[in-house]
Amino acid sequence: DQQVKQNSPSLSVQEGRISILNCDYTNSMFDYFLWYKKYPAEGPTFLISISSIKDKNEDGRFTVFLNKSAKHLSLHIVPSQPGDSAVYFCAASGGYALNFGKGTSLLVTP
Amino acid sequence: DAGVTQSPTHLIKTRGQQVTLRCSPKSGHDTVSWYQQALGQGPQFIFQYYEEEERQRGNFPDRFSGHQFPNYSSELNVNALLLGDSALYLCASSLTGANVLTFGAGSRLTVL
């Protein structure tokens, strides 16, 4: 039973443009949400997070938006750079475990 | 400052065998979690250890067991290996109470 869903397996964006990655969740008890980035042959690296009491969090080029009523969050990357090409995982915290989506593979082309 | 280190990086086993994976947490972290990432999937929570006790367990059979040592390092043991156990096994550490986990590069297990 997938409680966190990333419905776009892949996304291609031109360098300099905005990348928008989406994530939906089903469990209303989740109270903290995170985005991780993963390069091949490396472990996931923490990118940005947001608490359920907020609706937006910014860190440089990365912004995460949370819509609790829709159980939806998104990650915006502006401007996108070729080095951002990686797999992005959305995760939701419930208890001690993180619940991950299947990931979205982002390709930023020059 | 070393992050989370895992060993071995790759290993091949046959069905029915047993495997032990090892993890050293990031310096200053006291909590270790294990995740299984199958091909094309996101990481799935196996269990978390804190103060040498299993604190929470995911939906994995008893063939999966673990241990945490006084120095906070941890082992994941899988008995009676099945073909479906082939995956990347990720160890993550954190300071207890923190939501953000630091992951290692993983141990790639292939079961033939």
Question: What CATH number does the domain containing B81 carry?
Answer: 2.60.40.10
Question: Does B67 score more than 70 pLDDT?
Answer: yes
Contact at CB, B105 and A42, closer than 8 angstroms: yes
Q: How far apart are CA B88 and CA B21, in angstroms?
A: 11
The pLDDT, as a whole number, for residue B1 is: 63
> For residue range B71-93, what is the model confidence (pLDDT) as tens digits?
999 999 999 999 999 999 999 99
Work out how many domains chain B is built from and give that number: 1
Confidence at residue B97, expressed as pLDDT on a 0 to 100 scale = 85
With CA atoms as reference, the chain B residue closest to A94 would be B99
With pLDDT > 90 as the criterion, what percentage of chain A qualifies? 94
Q: Which sequence spans correspond to the domains of chain A?
A: 4-109
pLDDT digits (tens, 9 = 90+) for A17-71: 999 999 999 999 999 999 999 999 899 999 999 999 999 999 999 999 999 999 9
Of A78, A47, A48, A74, nearest to A61 (Cα)? A78
**Is A95 an 8 Å CB contact of chain B?**
yes
Q: B51 lies in which domain range?
A: 5-111
Contact A4 B42 (CB under 8 A): yes
CATH class for the region spanning A4-109: mainly beta
A66 to chain B, closest Cα gap in Å:
17
> Does position A95 have pLDDT exceeding 90, yes or no?
no
For residue B55, CA distances in Å to A58, B13, B33, B75 come to 32, 29, 10, 15
Q: Which residues of B touch A37 (CB under 8 A)?
A: none
